[in-house]
Chains A and B, each alone.
Chain A
Amino acid sequence: MATAKSAKFDIKAYRGFKAITLLCLFVLYAPLIVVTIYSFNASASLTNWEGVSFRWYVDVFTGPESGKFKTAALNSFIIAIAAATMATTLATLAATGMVRGGKFKLRSASFGLISLPLMVPEIVTAVATLIFFNAIGFDRGIMTILLAHTAFCVPFAYLPIAARMQGIEDSYEQAAMDLYANKRQAFTKILMPLMMPGIISGFILAFIVSLDDFIITNFVKGAGVETLPTAIFGSVKQGIKPNIMAISTMLLGLSVVMVTISYFVSKADNTK
């Protein structure tokens, strides 16, 4: 068999391929599965299974901590939507400049500068952002979180938008301008609609990244301002309760939905 197909490289022919794959998948997903399953546990215990119940989901919305979580969730969503919107706008402009700006000096340096924050350890960004706000005397609160999130979400939004734009030929804009559209009309009527899948994809990515950010938020948030991740962390410090598992499971579900939308939107190719 192996010799007959030797011309074709088939990774499945290697011994242990299956075992390693399963191990990797197990390590990646076992904790998530455990959390998801135990969020439906009827017992207050974290380890003993006592049957299926939605009690902890009810607890999240009506229990003693529900007020805290509601405020935090509201903050998180407001920040995530606002930061993703601003980051996507900036990223769209950046991508337009980078992809359509022709050759300019320091083009690759600019690309590096835009995507570098993805590689910088988040704690460094967090500390730097905190020091920056202190230095300019910006009082910490929801605004500082919003600004910090906008800044670090730009590269996440930029990548899918720029990738999309690279796939759109110049000739569409040229055809638009040839047909009497000025530069602004060519952008809004032709380029923007064609870029839309990339823009939506970038927005969703930025939204998710902002929604679950903990480190930077924890550094730049003011006293008493909580987002969902910091509220969860605060609650966990006093001991893990099953309601945390319920919140985590809901966040997980939201992420899955968003990532799925992003995947299908970016695949829907309206240039073909």
Chain B
Amino acid sequence: MVEETSATGWETQLSKNEQIAIDVRDAVKRYGDFTALKTISLSIKDNEFFTLLGPSGCGKTTLLRMIAGFEDVTEGGIFLYGDEIENLPPYQRPVNTVFQNYALFPHMTILDNVAFGLEMRGANKSDARKKAGEMLELVQLSQFSARKPSQLSGGQQQRVALARALAPQPKVLLLDEPLSALDLKLRKAMQLELKHLQRETGITFIFVTHDQEEALTMSDRIAVMSAGELQQLGSPNDIYERPRNMFVADFIGETNLLEVSVDKVENGRAICHLGGGHELTCNAVDEVGVGSKVHLSIRPERLFMSEEPAEGESLKAKVRENIFVGTDITTILDLADGPEFIVRTSNSDRGNKRIFEPGTDMYVNMEVGAARLLVD
């Protein structure tokens, strides 16, 4: 059911003339009794920055390795621009991989590393090296071409791995958590560089990560996976603002997850009961009917505090604690006899949004659309 609804979701997004780079059709991966991937279907568009996002063990790397050819497909098929590839060995797939540990050949120079794929594809040595030199220029590492991989820093090795994988001009580039070994600052810089490189080369990128922030920053579309299943597929905005289920809401970003019962549904609005006599109105969701006990997700930055109830939805609460986290101030509130709320106020909004001292009675407010009902 999860696959079906999300499938219709993206099929409608796809216009007729867009080409599909990778089409995964009902792919299943089993290791003996263990099912690593449970019937996954998804289409990755030409020239797209596509991210497989999920916690470790969710099957994202398995899916990537199936596309690369390192893992057999137990059932189903994988198509590359319409050609069935799941039975081809890795060296016959016009797809290249940037490995998590880079896997640069330690006994070869940087230039030979980058030229390797071109040579194996039949280019003669001097042509391969010339092209490899150009690739190194693209990643600004020309001056290191005669060095061995061990003489480079992590970030430089990362760029060599990228150049090596891009040099043979693959139809699709696969990236297996390539930034996870880098420190935060370098990671941020590489995120932008990768995104630019993808735009420049026009090659379809499939990026695997467990870092939701990284996924949101870089991707055109994201497939959120968990326990071998596709949870949601959509643009970063879709996934963040309109999570389908508990898992996605909880995994992507920070959120207030509240257990609620739906009292009434009318005119596309659902009235939810939070406990302690508190009520909240939000947009109705097809799968959630009257009487259901479900979860409600409200992003902390969509909440604001005031002395008097504001327009829209207002709930009476008491401030427990303020935490200063640099760019934001996080406030923890308690609803009388109800759940707690986390509110995030941007530091730059301090002028027009109020921060209250702990112990103060006030109101926490939101727009009607800010709260989202989740399918469990």
Q: A171-B99, A176-B116, A178-B96 are in contact. Are A271 and B106 (CB under 8 A)?
A: yes
A188-222 Cβ-contact flags toward B at 8 Å (1 or 0): 01100110000000000000000000000000000
What residue in chain B is nearest A270 (Cβ atoms)?
A: B107
A178 contacts across to B, CB distance below 8 A: 68-70, 90-91, 95-97, 165
CB pair A177 B90 closer than 8 Å: yes
A15 within 8 A of B: no
A9 within 8 A of B: no
CB pair A180 B106 closer than 8 Å: no
A190 contacts across to B, CB distance below 8 A: 105
In angstroms, Cα B107 to Cα A193, docked, is 7
Sort chain B's interface into a size bin: 20 to 34
A181 contacts across to B, CB distance below 8 A: 91, 116, 120
Q: Per DSSP, are chain A's interface residues mostly helix, strand or loop, or mixed?
A: helix
B89 within 8 A of A: yes
In angstroms, Cα B148 to Cα A272, docked, is 9
In angstroms, Cα B97 to Cα A211, docked, is 48
CB-contact partner of B105 in A175, A177, A185, A272, under 8 A: A175
A272 contacts across to B, CB distance below 8 A: 106, 150
In angstroms, Cα B17 to Cα A18, docked, is 84
Sort chain A's interface into a size bin: 20 to 34
Of residues 121 through 137 on chain B, the ones whose CB sits less than 8 Å from some CB of chain A are 121
CB pair B164 A179 closer than 8 Å: yes
Q: A171-B99, A194-B106 are in contact. Are A177 and B150 (CB under 8 A)?
A: no
In angstroms, Cα B135 to Cα A105, docked, is 45
Chain B's nearest CB lies how many Å from the CB of A59? 47
A174 contacts across to B, CB distance below 8 A: 70, 90, 97, 99, 103
15 contacts between A and B (CB under 8 A): A171-B103, A172-B103, A174-B99, A176-B105, A176-B116, A177-B90, A178-B69, A179-B91, A179-B117, A179-B168, A180-B120, A180-B168, A182-B89, A182-B91, A185-B120
Chain B's nearest CB lies how many Å from the CB of A94? 23
Of residues 189 through 211 on chain B, the ones whose CB sits less than 8 Å from some CB of chain A are none
CB pair B120 A179 closer than 8 Å: yes
CB-contact partner of B103 in A175, A182, A185, under 8 A: A175
Q: Which 9 pairs of residues, A with B, have the shortest CB-CB distance?
A: A179-B117, A180-B120, A171-B103, A175-B103, A177-B90, A271-B106, A181-B120, A178-B97, A180-B91
A50 contacts across to B, CB distance below 8 A: none
CB pair A177 B117 closer than 8 Å: no
CB pair A179 B96 closer than 8 Å: yes
B101 within 8 A of A: yes
In angstroms, Cα B103 to Cα A181, docked, is 15
A169 contacts across to B, CB distance below 8 A: 101, 103
Residues of A within 8 A of B (CB): 169, 171-172, 174-183, 185, 189-190, 193-194, 270-272
CB pair A177 B101 closer than 8 Å: no
Chain A's nearest CB lies how many Å from the CB of B147? 14
In angstroms, Cα B97 to Cα A270, docked, is 23
Of residues 150 through 206 on chain B, the ones whose CB sits less than 8 Å from some CB of chain A are 150, 164-165, 168
In angstroms, Cα B117 to Cα A69, docked, is 54
In angstroms, Cα B115 to Cα A180, docked, is 12
Of residues 62 through 102 on chain B, the ones whose CB sits less than 8 Å from some CB of chain A are 68-70, 89-91, 95-97, 99, 101
B91 contacts across to A, CB distance below 8 A: 177-182
What residue in chain B is nearest A173 (Cβ atoms)?
A: B103
Central interface residue in B96, B97, B101, B107, by most chain A CB within 10 Å: B107
CB-contact partner of B121 in A180, A189, A194, A271, under 8 A: A180
Central interface residue in A178, A180, A270, A271, by most chain B CB within 10 Å: A178
Chain B's nearest CB lies how many Å from the CB of A108? 19
Chain B's nearest CB lies how many Å from the CB of A138? 42
A180 contacts across to B, CB distance below 8 A: 91, 117, 120-121, 168
CB pair B99 A194 closer than 8 Å: no
A185 contacts across to B, CB distance below 8 A: 120
B120 contacts across to A, CB distance below 8 A: 176, 179-181, 185
B101 contacts across to A, CB distance below 8 A: 169, 171
A193 contacts across to B, CB distance below 8 A: 107
What residue in chain A is nearest B94 (Cβ atoms)?
A: A180
B244-269 Cβ-contact flags toward A at 8 Å (1 or 0): 00000000000000000000000000
CB-contact partner of A175 in B69, B89, B97, B168, under 8 A: B97
In angstroms, Cα B311 to Cα A255, docked, is 91
